[in-house]
Structure 1
Amino acid sequence: MPRELELFGIVFPTLIPLLLLAGGLSWLLDGALARSGFFRNVWHPSLFRISVTVLMFSVFGLLLFSR
């Protein structure tokens, strides 16, 4: 995957789509965990949600830039 994407003559970093992907996946995971009642066992659900998003984004970024 290229490290820069061009869309209509505008060049932007590949990390932007990765952030959107991580946000979407964490949103889906959040819905599944909420339906299962997982958040009753979590001390701070908002902090957990943000940390899952940051963790996914970091893993995607490391996979992109490890090559």
Structure 2
Amino acid sequence: MPHGTDTRARGAAAEATALSEHCELAGRPGYEDLHHDCRRDADYTLPGSPGIVVTPRCGCGCHRKGPR
């Protein structure tokens, strides 16, 4: 790995754009309706934690309706 590469930043960027299983499959022909089944429209945090994300928001454009 090149010197000075921050893997945490790269991991956070990949996590922010990661698709849910429903939206990943909905990108294939014949499965477009699965976007409606995706419920990852927000970051879900560990209860009682200072914001530790357990399940991140889906990075699919179908969830980007505007600022929250």
Q: TM above 0.5, one fold?
A: no
Compute the TM-score of the two structures, normalised by the length of structure 1: 0.31
TM-score, normalised with respect to structure 2: 0.30
- Choose between structure 1 and 2 for higher RCO, CA contacts under 8 A separated by at least 6 residues: 1
Structure with higher helix content: 1
